[in-house]
A and B are shown apart, each in its own frame.
Chain A
């Protein structure tokens, strides 16, 4: 254990050679062999509040759970647990290459195994100064900056020593380290730079899993605190802060920045990731337009089809430009798929415009009046903005359904989107139950950030709703104005014809003309109000709804977790009772149940944390996007107002000499 203190200095992320780090890793494992029982001594206080990042559902879930259960069974007796760890560590030492390859391929459980220690350590030591950074890690965005000096303070040993240490370690471990290095260089970097974003994320998620996992054990075991831990802790914290930036660095060059990883990273990295996002936003490499609304069919079976044209530079698409025809229900179908897939994990899935029975019926009936044209234009615009939002979302763009929607010639008909179908009814029912459960769940918010954001979103929603009513009334009033102006123009023309003074008569008819033009102007402006302003606001109301949806999802996840915890508690009580009553036959069953529920609790907690992180990230992204887009749109709208004002000036200026000519 003495060596661990020497080893602890972590290299600065940028300057550090990956080999060194990787060399240190197996070494630490071997260290754990010697170490008595670091896990036992852990107290879980800091970690409970630690913001554990999350990632979207990974294919490795099953694996994780299985390994967790393994751990759990082990953890029932601390001895067992230690054994397992030791064994695995030993195994890693004995045959690291295979092991690591397997592990990495299979879901990086080894990585997890290694990280158990750091995480555990970091969480474990209340007196150590590290609790503070850990907390900061959770809270502050600037944590990364505070972290670095702290690390260097704590561990004065520079890189040199580390290198030396590493070399000795390599000597000790001989083969393993070399293998591992190779492996990390090849496989690891592949994974990190690979176009599949889910993988790295998983690694870290699992890392977190195990953190909470081990924490659980420590809670149960309630071990004594040992002084030796400090070192491990130091190392662990460092390791943590080290890991992510490195990944970060590796991730940067990836063509489509793998955002799930961002979710799994702890706070300090988030700020760095934001930059990545920024970069990504700046290049607009895909644009979708919806054009040519066309009525297909007749009568009540008629539907609207739209041309969806995509222009992209992304390599994931076969062509640079392509066009497909989609009907309205396809858009809805896409949304259904996306929201089913990504909604529960906390992504903000941009909602499409609502189905409008009234508007559609009008179109179906085939009335070619202005209101149905208005409706079609509104909807077309809304659909375009909807699709644009979907493809602008880095995660949703990766979704095969989105790609299919944009590329594939024929889509299976979306059936569940019909408003009056059985599926529609079911959906309504679901929504109703959701609403009820939403009201009944009383979540005591542990994170102030979410509380604030939720409030923000809600007040924004209110504001936007207000704005929307106003915009609608503006449209109505503007239309009224244009009508009244037309009336006045006519009346002025009549007055002009009745006037017997020729100059005045001419001026009046000129006035009539001017008013006529202004009427046209108002009409155009009304259209502008509708499409440029009112619709925009309506969009944001829908989007804010989606944002609230993600908060609800988070709440649901929380509720699940809480329920599971309550259940676990109950099971434990039963166990205690059985123990007291001395019924060994049932005791075994109870224990099994406890294990089962523990797994569930862990799983749910992890889910919750993942959802939380995703929601957090999504909300931030949404807000940034909102500000940017909203500003742009408002600018465009103001620009149009400006133009109409300019036109107005022209009209009146033309009229002025006429008025002056009256003699």
Chain B
């Protein structure tokens, strides 16, 4: 059972996506409860929009509800030309829990102090994961609410307003398989349509850029993750070392000196911030991925319509019908292209802003941590 207080929430905000929030619809998740594998988020909405019955309300939502919302949005044809914000990842408390378990097993081999320290560290990690989970869910909703089109979505409003349990059905096996199959088709489709000549230079550029960018950012994410892990390892080492050193000092009545426990803390804090940055990258990737899919779909649609037209012309049958269909497709594609263009441009701006914000924050954090450990050292020296 973990709950977040408002204080920690404030901190969370700082890393959330830079959104052009208008006051008409403000959503946040002020509280969340973790019960075993289930996380219950309290979604709080403040609005001036008349489409809502009350100006201020909160509802309990689970992770699955978020997924449902995302899926519905994706399946809505009207939104094909939009970048649907990526669904939040499933809460994963396994790794800290597993570590906690391991720690419990290794308790005998550690000193009391060391154990307490490790436990504290793990709890901090756990809390961080928890916070992050809440954060990604919140960001998802905030992005929806800040989107001019998506914020008007009926399902979205239901999600926010309906104060009973949404009782969203979990995907059953067939649907899961269907989803999987669809994904396969989509990837195959992507390969197929990738050979098609792009009609618009903008999209052509955008496509190559995104593909390139995607691979790069994926690489960076992996590397950053690795780096973070090493940081974490070192932080753990520091904990052990400082504990052992302290034990040695305790034995030597003279006392060598109290080695800063802060050392470990700093490293792990640093790690947390780095992970946050990493998460950010991940989110960006997901957005980019999203965009790619959307684009691919638009292209596929266009392609299909063209094909249909060709077929119709070949057979010189049902030509008017086919033409109409082609017209429709073309229109749709144009519309899609247009909105996609808009979306992509805004995405770009958002991405740059997000990067800026995060890089600045990261630099500041690094400086702060280094300074903290600097100030921690003199204490050690005087002891």
Point out residues on A near B: beta carbons under 8 Å. 456, 459-460, 463-464, 466-467, 470-471, 473-474, 477-478, 480-481, 484-485, 487-488, 490-492, 494-495, 498-501, 503-504, 507-508, 511, 623, 626-627, 630-631, 634-635, 638, 641-642, 645-646, 648-649, 652-653, 655-656, 659-660, 662-663
Judging by beta carbons under 8 Å apart, are B209 and A498 in contact? yes
Inter-chain CA distance A466–B360, complex, in Å, is 40
Which DSSP category, helix, strand, loop or mixed, fits chain A's interface?
helix
Query: Does B224 lie at the interface of the complex (its beta carbon under 8 Å from any beta carbon of A)?
Result: yes
Inter-chain CA distance A655–B374, complex, in Å, is 19
Could you tell me the distance in whole angstroms from the C-beta of B141 to the nearest C-beta in chain A?
A: 27
Contact A641:B377 (CB < 8 A) given known A488-B223, A495-B220? yes
Query: Does B212 lie at the interface of the complex (its beta carbon under 8 Å from any beta carbon of A)?
Result: yes
Contact A488:B238 (CB < 8 A) given known A459-B251, A498-B216, A631-B256? no
Judging by beta carbons under 8 Å apart, are A638 and B217 in contact? no
Could you tell me the distance in whole angstroms from the C-beta of A309 to the nearest C-beta in chain B?
A: 30
Query: Does B58 lie at the interface of the complex (its beta carbon under 8 Å from any beta carbon of A)?
Result: no
Please, which residue of chain A has its CB at the minimum distance from the CB of B353? A662
Stretch touching chain A among B150-158, B294-302, B362-370: B362-370
**B217 contacts across to A, CB distance below 8 A:** 495
- Count of A-B contacts with CB under 8 A? 151
Contact A630:B381 (CB < 8 A) given known A467-B241, A491-B219? no
Stretch touching chain A among B97-105, B131-139, B176-184, B242-250: B242-250
**B377 contacts across to A, CB distance below 8 A:** 638, 641-642, 645
Contact of A480 among B230, B247, B352, B359 (CB under 8 A): B230
Judging by beta carbons under 8 Å apart, are B223 and A646 in contact? no
Contact of A477 among B213, B234, B373 (CB under 8 A): B234
Inter-chain CA distance A634–B219, complex, in Å, is 39
Contact of A659 among B213, B254, B259, B363 (CB under 8 A): B363
**29 residue pairs from A and B, CB less than 8 Å apart:** A463-B244, A463-B251, A466-B244, A481-B227, A485-B230, A495-B216, A495-B217, A498-B212, A498-B216, A503-B352, A504-B352, A504-B356, A508-B355, A627-B254, A631-B256, A634-B256, A641-B377, A642-B373, A646-B374, A648-B370, A649-B367, A649-B371, A652-B370, A656-B360, A656-B363, A659-B359, A660-B356, A662-B352, A662-B359
Contact A488:B227 (CB < 8 A) given known A646-B374, A659-B360, A659-B363? yes
Please, which residue of chain A has its CB at the minimum distance from the CB of B281? A495
Could you tell me the distance in whole angstroms from the C-beta of B48 to the nearest C-beta in chain A?
A: 32
Contact A491:B220 (CB < 8 A) given known A498-B213, A499-B213? yes
Could you tell me the distance in whole angstroms from the C-beta of A656 to the nearest C-beta in chain B?
A: 4
Query: Does B380 lie at the interface of the complex (its beta carbon under 8 Å from any beta carbon of A)?
Result: yes
Judging by beta carbons under 8 Å apart, are B241 and A471 in contact? yes
Could you tell me the distance in whole angstroms from the C-beta of A314 to the nearest C-beta in chain B?
A: 28
**A656 contacts across to B, CB distance below 8 A:** 360, 363-364, 367
Inter-chain CA distance A508–B370, complex, in Å, is 21
Query: Does B306 lie at the interface of the complex (its beta carbon under 8 Å from any beta carbon of A)?
Result: no
Write out, one digit per residue, whether chain B residues 339-383 have a CB within 8 A of any chain A CB (1) or not (0): 000000000100010011001101110110011011001001100
Judging by beta carbons under 8 Å apart, are A638 and B381 in contact? yes
Query: Does B204 lie at the interface of the complex (its beta carbon under 8 Å from any beta carbon of A)?
Result: no
Interface residues of B in 16-68 (CB under 8 A from A): none
**B222 contacts across to A, CB distance below 8 A:** 491
**B371 contacts across to A, CB distance below 8 A:** 649
**B348 contacts across to A, CB distance below 8 A:** 500-501
Could you tell me the distance in whole angstroms from the C-beta of A576 to the nearest C-beta in chain B?
A: 51
For the complex of A and B, list the 8 residue pairs with the smallest distance between their C-beta atoms, beginning with the closest: A481-B230, A662-B356, A659-B359, A488-B223, A474-B237, A477-B233, A484-B227, A491-B220
Query: Does B170 lie at the interface of the complex (its beta carbon under 8 Å from any beta carbon of A)?
Result: no
Please, which residue of chain B has its CB at the minimum distance from the CB of A492? B220
Judging by beta carbons under 8 Å apart, are B237 and A470 in contact? yes
Contact A488:B251 (CB < 8 A) given known A498-B213, A660-B360? no
Query: Does B226 lie at the interface of the complex (its beta carbon under 8 Å from any beta carbon of A)?
Result: yes
**B373 contacts across to A, CB distance below 8 A:** 641-642, 645
Inter-chain CA distance A648–B267, complex, in Å, is 13
Judging by beta carbons under 8 Å apart, are A460 and B230 in contact? no
Contact of A655 among B237, B240, B363, B380 (CB under 8 A): B363
Inter-chain CA distance A494–B217, complex, in Å, is 9
Could you tell me the distance in whole angstroms from the C-beta of B74 to the nearest C-beta in chain A?
A: 27
Judging by beta carbons under 8 Å apart, are A467 and B245 in contact? yes
Judging by beta carbons under 8 Å apart, are B209 and A500 in contact? yes
Contact of A487 among B226, B231, B256, B356 (CB under 8 A): B226
Contact of B220 among A481, A488, A504, A638 (CB under 8 A): A488
Could you tell me the distance in whole angstroms from the C-beta of B229 to the nearest C-beta in chain A?
A: 8
Inter-chain CA distance A655–B364, complex, in Å, is 9
Interface residues of B in 257-274 (CB under 8 A from A): 257, 259, 263
Given contacts A460-B251, A467-B244, A491-B219, 6 further A-B contacts (CB under 8 A): A456-B251, A471-B241, A495-B219, A499-B213, A501-B352, A645-B377
**B248 contacts across to A, CB distance below 8 A:** 460, 463-464, 467
Contact of A484 among B219, B223, B245, B247 (CB under 8 A): B223
Judging by beta carbons under 8 Å apart, are B226 and A474 in contact? no
Inter-chain CA distance A645–B373, complex, in Å, is 8
Most chain A beta carbons < 10 A, residue from B222, B237, B238: B237
Please, which residue of chain A has its CB at the minimum distance from the CB of B232? A477
Contact A627:B367 (CB < 8 A) given known A638-B381, A649-B374? no
Judging by beta carbons under 8 Å apart, are A470 and B359 in contact? no
Query: Does B252 lie at the interface of the complex (its beta carbon under 8 Å from any beta carbon of A)?
Result: yes
Inter-chain CA distance A631–B257, complex, in Å, is 7
Judging by beta carbons under 8 Å apart, are A474 and B241 in contact? yes
Judging by beta carbons under 8 Å apart, are B360 and A646 in contact? no
Judging by beta carbons under 8 Å apart, are B238 and A648 in contact? no
Please, which residue of chain B has its CB at the minimum distance from the CB of A655? B363
Inter-chain CA distance A309–B163, complex, in Å, is 84
Inter-chain CA distance A504–B352, complex, in Å, is 7
Could you tell me the distance in whole angstroms from the C-beta of A202 to the nearest C-beta in chain B?
A: 34
Inter-chain CA distance A520–B249, complex, in Å, is 32
Contact A494:B216 (CB < 8 A) given known A627-B252, A649-B374? yes
Inter-chain CA distance A492–B213, complex, in Å, is 11
Most chain B beta carbons < 10 A, residue from A459, A477, A501: A477
Judging by beta carbons under 8 Å apart, are A511 and B359 in contact? yes
Please, which residue of chain A has its CB at the minimum distance from the CB of B222? A491
Most chain A beta carbons < 10 A, residue from B223, B259, B352, B366: B223
Inter-chain CA distance A460–B250, complex, in Å, is 11
**A634 contacts across to B, CB distance below 8 A:** 245, 256-257, 259
Contact of B355 among A456, A463, A471, A507 (CB under 8 A): A507
Contact of B219 among A474, A494, A635 (CB under 8 A): A494
Inter-chain CA distance A481–B223, complex, in Å, is 10
Inter-chain CA distance A638–B245, complex, in Å, is 13
Inter-chain CA distance A284–B310, complex, in Å, is 97
Judging by beta carbons under 8 Å apart, are B367 and A652 in contact? yes
Please, which residue of chain A has its CB at the minimum distance from the CB of B220? A491
Please, which residue of chain A has its CB at the minimum distance from the CB of B210? A498
Judging by beta carbons under 8 Å apart, are A477 and B230 in contact? yes
Judging by beta carbons under 8 Å apart, are A481 and B234 in contact? yes
**A503 contacts across to B, CB distance below 8 A:** 352
Please, which residue of chain A has its CB at the minimum distance from the CB of B213? A498
Inter-chain CA distance A460–B256, complex, in Å, is 13
Inter-chain CA distance A122–B360, complex, in Å, is 81
Please, which residue of chain B has its CB at the minimum distance from the CB of A515? B227
**A648 contacts across to B, CB distance below 8 A:** 366, 370
Inter-chain CA distance A623–B371, complex, in Å, is 35
Could you tell me the distance in whole angstroms from the C-beta of B93 to the nearest C-beta in chain A?
A: 25
**A463 contacts across to B, CB distance below 8 A:** 244, 247-248, 251
Could you tell me the distance in whole angstroms from the C-beta of A481 to the nearest C-beta in chain B?
A: 4
Please, which residue of chain B has its CB at the minimum distance from the CB of A465? B244
**A487 contacts across to B, CB distance below 8 A:** 223, 226-227
**A499 contacts across to B, CB distance below 8 A:** 213
Judging by beta carbons under 8 Å apart, are A477 and B220 in contact? no
